[in-house]
Chains A and B, each alone.
Chain A
Amino acid sequence: MQNIRLQKTINLAIALGLVGTMALFIIMSSSQASAFSRTFVRFDRMKLSTATTGTVCANPGTVAVENDVQVTFPTGYTVSTTVGNWTVDTTNTAWPTGGTAWPGIGTATAAAGQVVTFPSTDLTVGTLYCFNWNNTASVSVKSSATASNSGSITTRTSVPATIETSNYSTASITDDQIVVTASVSQTFSFALSANTDALGTLSTGAITSSATPRTTTIDTNAKNGWLVWAKDSSTGLNSASAAATVASTTPGTNSTIVAGTEGYNTGVTQSQASGSGTITVAVPFVGGVSGKGGGLDTTLRTLATSTGTANTAVVTLTNNATIGSTTAAATDYTDTITVIGAGLF
């Protein structure tokens, strides 16, 4: 008997629990506004502390009669509380696909704190409605850079009661776009230490390198760095009288020429007094060791690059040559190396 009573009590408790849960669910559902199927808020400028115009779009998903739309701007954004500053238009300024002029939209009717209220008429479910606020006196971007600044869009009835609400997110950045409109006075200085490099008498017994390697010295305030290219006229040391060439050794790759085997290359080393740039010698031309470098040919090849400004950046060019036992003898072996420097963009 006692067991039956206990069973009944348990059943009643479960039933009451279920009913209570359902009731709570219904109450919560009725008090929780639904969300738009799509929202879009675009600020035309994203730079810190910059006055901006923008666009608001929303696609309603709930059947109701809208009376106004409230746009809540992210915390930190300076929002004008003068309603006259919140003028709008419905010009399609690269709106999202399907964007339609927001019906009944007009100058704000209220602006308090971060919330601005615009008038609206009834919206049709499933249509993406947009409008632009077009006065830069209305809102300014916050003064600190953050990636996620949240705000919201809310539509309301005439009661007013919330129909739908959705959050949006935008970023504030330290600096925004720059359109190419003006020249920047950057200077670039390039000095070649001499116009000739006499290698002297070449022999089969040793590598002959520039006695006084020629240097190019670069000074520039170009923030994006600089480049030095080089090419030669004959892809090697050419003799007109002997109709022979000591050919450049494998242009485009790094090599170390050896005594007794014909070869000709240019090794590059670098130094810099100061500057923001880091100099990199192009891999094929890395020198610093006797006979090590890259061959030049008639294509302009990068010798060295830098990533920033330079104060007395020196690129040293050491020409190395070797001959073999069959290299034609002559006194007119020559080559013309063209070295070009430029500040980067």
Chain B
Amino acid sequence: MGKKIIRVGYVASILFLSLSIVVPAKAQNSGFSVQVSPSPIIESIDPGVSKTVELKIRNQNTQKETFKMGLRAFGVDNNSGEVQLKNEEPIDVVSWVTFAEPVFSVDAGQWFTQKVIFDVPKDAGFTYSFAITVSRANPTQEAGGKTTIEGSVAIFALLSTNRSDAVRKLDISSFISKRKVYEYLPANFLLKIKNSGNTIVQPTGNIYIQRSLNSTEPIDILSVNGTGAYILPDVTRTLQSDWTKGFPTYKDTSDSGKKKLFWNWSDLQNLRIGHYVAKAIVVYNDGVRDIPAEANIDFWVIPWKLMGGLLVIAALVITGVVSVIRKTMKVARKKQKDDATE
């Protein structure tokens, strides 16, 4: 019986080992650590004119590294707004975007200045957008039993060509409030802006929070595109603005991204109740003047729990007052009756 158990155990062990993939343990390499500036690269170029831009690259690793430069195409998903980096080179620029030193070495902790050369063709188009990559010239080779991880940094390059026929044009595709009714602020607004021109633009503007559409003085003014985001031609980008100046307000907490209601009594004057209009005015410059685009939405702020609480308190107070008055009157009437009887 004992021998049988040992035999079964032996067979099971062999079976287990045969189904296992032996991957030897490996000491950790020192990784990849790079800092780049500027990121992104935003430049104006002229047709037929060469332009050189400096890209600073710092090797933050603990040993000397040899890096190589590369180019990649990217696209933007109009529905999700997601930037999709591609494996391919950007074919429209690969022939005229070069690097002074395509492969270079940098000592640990040192900066290297790479010269990015744009030999702009005479028949250059309106805009070019692509990514410049910095990666190890000699990446870790694949070897059995381990997964190799290679790091790389991409720097977006957005080039606008100075052409007299360049058209700067923006349209507001949609302007929505995340909710129609808010209990407390913040109220969140999503402004979808489409670049319907042929050059890269950086829109700006304000969202005016008002009681009515034609109010002369807004209650609050929000910034549109406060981070200075760029919109590529034929791309729609969603910009979010939040109206936060309220009392009380929900704020993010550090734990698990949950929102917590904050009662800052010094903001009591910012108690928001009722109907509001958000009027967005986005402005872009067509090269000569500001061109505004306008959209508006209405929404409500109804702090129903707070109002309910106040109503209950008011009801209790009124009930108490009425009860006291009734009691007083009853006593007075009784006294009057007693006096009359006497």
Interface residues of A (CB under 8 A from B): 42-47, 93-94, 145-150, 169, 171, 173-205, 212, 214, 216, 219-220, 222-224, 227, 229, 231, 233, 237, 239-241, 278, 298-300, 302, 305, 308, 317, 319, 323, 325, 327, 329-345
Contact = CB atoms under 8 A, between A and B. Distances in A.
Contacts of A190: 32-35, 151, 153
B284 to A, nearest CB: 5
B197 to A, nearest CB: 12
Given A195-B150, A214-B149, A147 B18 contact: no
Nearest to B208: A147
Interface string B148-187: 1111111110101000000010000000000000000000
Contacts of B201: 177, 180
Contacts of B83: 227, 302, 344
Interface in B108-166: 131, 133, 139-140, 142-156, 158, 160
21 contacts: A44-B290, A46-B292, A145-B208, A146-B217, A149-B216, A171-B292, A173-B206, A177-B204, A177-B284, A186-B40, A187-B35, A189-B60, A190-B35, A192-B32, A192-B151, A196-B146, A197-B147, A202-B23, A278-B252, A331-B144, A336-B148
Contacts of A194: 28-31, 149
Given A178-B202, A200-B23, A325-B19, A222 B39 contact: yes
Nearest to B200: A180
Contacts of B30: 194-195
Given A182-B42, A203-B19, A345-B229, A174 B60 contact: no
A237 to B, nearest CB: 7
B289 A179 contact: no
Contacts, number: 312
Given A195-B29, A197-B146, A319-B147, 4 more contacts: A93-B289, A177-B204, A334-B148, A341-B154
Interface stretch (B84-92, B298-306, B319-327, B332-340): B84-92
Interface of B: 16, 18-26, 28-44, 53, 60, 82-87, 131, 133, 139-140, 142-156, 158, 160, 168, 199-206, 208, 210, 214-218, 221, 223, 227-230, 252, 257, 279, 281, 283-290, 292, 294
A42 B289 contact: yes
Contacts of A149: 216
Contacts of B150: 192, 195, 336-339
Contact of B156 (A182, A203, A343): A343
Nearest to A321: B21
Contacts of A185: 37-38
A176 to B, nearest CB: 5
A185 B290 CA distance: 26
A3 B217 CA distance: 60
Nearest to B61: A191
A257 B201 CA distance: 45
Nearest to B35: A189
B254 to A, nearest CB: 10
A299 B75 CA distance: 13
